[in-house]
Amino acid sequence: MSTRTTAKASWAVGNTIVVVAALVPVLWLASLSFKDPSTIADGSFIPTKWTLANYRGIFQTSLFTRALVNSIGIALIATVLAVAVGSMAAYAVARLRFPGKQVLVAVTLLIAMFPAISLVSPLFNLWRQLGLFDTWPGLIIPYLTFSLPLAIYTLSAFFREIPWELERAAQVDGATPLQAFLQVIAPLAAPGMVTTAILVFIFCWTDFVFAISLTSTSASQTVPAAIAFFSGASQFQTPIGSIAAAGVVITIPIILFVFFFQRRIVAGLTSGAVKG
Partner 1 sequence: MTVQSGVPGVAQAPPQAQPRHRRAASLSEGARAERRLGWLLCAPAVIVMLAVTAYPIGYAVWLSLQRYDLRFPAAREFVGLANYATVLTSSLWWTALGVTVFITVVSVAVELVLGMGLAMIMRWALVGRGAVRTAILIPYGIVTVVAAYSWQYAWTPGTGYLANLLPSGGAPLTEQWPAIFIIIAAEIWKTTPFMALLLLAGLSLVPEELLKAARVDGASAWQRFTQVILPLMKPAILVALLFRTLDAFRIFDNIFILTAGANNTRSVSILGYDNLFTALNLGVGSTISVLVFVAVAIIAFVFVKGFGTAAPGQEVERR
User: How many chain residues are in contact with partner 1, going by CB under 8 A?
Assistant: 117
Q: At its nearest, how many Å lie between partner 1 and the CB of residue 134?
A: 13
Stretch that binds partner 1, among 48-56, 57-65, 93-101, 189-197 (CB under 8 A): 93-101
Position among 68, 74, 180, 193 found at the interface with partner 1 (CB under 8 A) = 180
Q: Which of residues 190-249 bind partner 1 (CB under 8 A)?
A: 202, 205-206, 208-209, 212-213, 223-224, 227-228, 240, 243-244, 247
Contact with partner 1 (CB under 8 A) among 72, 89, 135, 194 = 89
The nearest distance, CB 61 to partner 1, in angstroms, is: 18
Name every residue whose Cβ is closer than 8 Å to that of residue 91 and which is 6 or more positions away in sequence: 155, 156, 159, 181, 185
Alpha carbon 62 to its chain's center: 24
DSSP letter for each residue of 134-184? TSHHHHHHHHHHHHHHHHHHHHHHHHHHS-HHHHHHHHHTT--HHHIIIII
Instruction: In angstroms, give the least distance from the CB of 197 to partner 1.
Output: 14
Q: Which of 91, 76, 74 is nearest to 151 (CA)?
A: 91
Site for partner 1 in 159-178 (CB under 8 A): 160, 166, 169-178
Q: Determine the residue type at 31.
A: S
Determine the angle formed by the axes of helices 136-161 and 101-112, rounding to 10 degrees. 130
What are the distances in angstroms from CA 256 to CA 27, 63, 146, 209? 16, 24, 24, 25
Q: Under DSSP, is residue 242 helix (H, G, I), strand (E, B) or coil?
A: helix
Interaction between residue 149 and partner 1 (CB under 8 A): yes
- Choose which of 1, 2, 3, 99 interacts with partner 1 (CB under 8 A): 99
Binding mask 15-54 for partner 1 (x = CB under 8 A): x--xx-xxx-xx-xx--x-------xx-xxx---------
Would you call 188 exposed, middle or buried from its count of C-beta atoms within 10 A (0-12, 13-18, 19+)?
A: middle
Contact residue for partner 1 among 59, 105, 194, 218 (CB under 8 A): 105
> Which 124-143 residues touch partner 1, going by CB under 8 A?
124-126, 141-142
